[in-house]
Every structure is written in C-alpha cells, then in structure tokens.
C-alpha cells in the first residue's frame, strides 16, 4: 500500500470510516441484485471506486467538513463540488493505478439523473448509481458535526429514493433490512 494514501486517510476527517461504509454497502447491493447484472470486473471497479471516491476531500479546508451548507460560501461550494475530479487526480499523482471503470464511477458519484448533479452535470451510468446510492445512504446514517443526529434507516432510504433507480433502491432496502 502506498504511504501517501495512508496519510490522506489519516489526515481527512471521517474519510476512512465513510469509504469503508460505502464499499461495504456497494458490495452488499451488488450481491442483492439479480445474478449476472454486475460482472466480476464491474464489481471490482465499483469496490475500488467506493474506497477512493472521496480522497479528493483531502484538499478541503477543515471548516468545510463541519459547516452546514448555508454557512459555506458559494465560491467554496463550487470548489468542494470538484472533489470527484480531485480524487482521480490524486490517485494519478500518488501512483495508484485505476481502471477506466473505476475512474468513471468516482467521477460520477455525485452526478444525478436529469443531469442534476456535479461536477459535470451529466447523466450518470447505471453502475455509477450503485455508488451514489450507497454514498447517500452512508452520508445520511453516519455522524456529521453539522447536524445533531444521523438519519435513521427509513429517512436515509427516502433520500436515496429521490435519485436512485428502482432496482438499486430495492437492493439497498433488502440490505438495510438484513443488517438492521
Ligand atoms: Fe463525494
Ligand atoms: Fe462519499
């Protein structure tokens, strides 16, 4: 393992726990979907992308992790929204090889149907939305300093339903019920 990636995980608030959680849920969602829908290669690319999707947040200022959205200046929010691109750039810079699939899934983890996401306002690939769904669910259920309590499973699923395809939502519901 590359020492630089250790330093990134050690130095970025919540990154290790969040990345592990997202990778765990991505694996579980894949396993809960119909056989053959996700190939072994796609699954590997998705797990890898889940582990590294947010390393771009290592470039953030400390207060960006703790402030609620309304306290963040628009100019800073615009920079924060580039973190999927920063993730790919950092992996390239520190010499962690990634496949084209992993790169795509990292870049698209905040893209939303109807081109409503960021950073490129594009229509996300179905497989990228497996990471997005896991990411939304985990972000809602993990502790965050800008809200008093994490959301419960039902509330988090209602957030995911707003964006994710039905097949992914169904798989996530199955997983959430299994581990409850
Ligand atoms: Fe992200
Ligand atoms: Fe994330």
Q: What is the pLDDT of residues 24-73, one digit of tens each?
A: 999 999 999 999 999 999 999 999 999 999 999 999 999 999 999 999 99
Task: Please identify which residue in the block is written with the tokens 């959680």.
Answer: 21
CA of 40 to the centre of ligand 1 (A): 24
133-164: burial string, b at 16+ Cβ within 10 Å, e else: bbbbbbbbbeebeeeeeebebeebbebbeebb
Ligand nearest to the CA of 109: 1
Prediction pTM value = 0.97
* Ion ligand 1 residues within 5 Å by Cβ: 54
Report all structural domains of the chain as residue ranges with CATH numbers, in order of start. 3-179 (1.10.3210.10)
Give the tens place of pLDDT for each residue, 104-150.
Answer: 999 999 999 999 999 999 999 999 999 999 999 999 999 998 899 99
CA of 118 to the centre of ligand 1 (A): 10
CA of 25 to the centre of ligand 2 (A): 12
């Amino acid at each position: 393992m590359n020492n630089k990636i250790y330093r990134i995980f050690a130095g970025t608030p919540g990154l290790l726990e969040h990345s592990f959680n997202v990778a765990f849920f991505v694996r579980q969602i894949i396993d809960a979907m119909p056989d053959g829908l996700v190939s072994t290669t796609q699954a590997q690319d998705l797990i890898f992308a889940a582990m590294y999707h947010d390393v771009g947040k290592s470039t953030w200022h400390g207060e960006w992790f703790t402030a609620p959205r309304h306290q963040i200046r628009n100019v800073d929010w615009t920079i924060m929204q580039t973190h999927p691109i920063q993730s790919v750039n950092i992996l390239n810079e520190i010499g962690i090889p990634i496949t084209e699939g992993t790169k795509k899934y990292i870049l698209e983890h905040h893209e939303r149907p109807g081109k409503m996401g960021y950073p490129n306002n594009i229509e996300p690939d179905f497989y990228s939305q497996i990471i997005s769904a896991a990411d939304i669910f985990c972000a809602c259920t993990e502790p965050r300093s800008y809200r008093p309590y994490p959301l419960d499973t039902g509330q988090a699923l209602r957030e995911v339903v707003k964006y994710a395809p039905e097949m992914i939502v169904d798989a996530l519901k199955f997983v959430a019920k299994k581990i409850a």
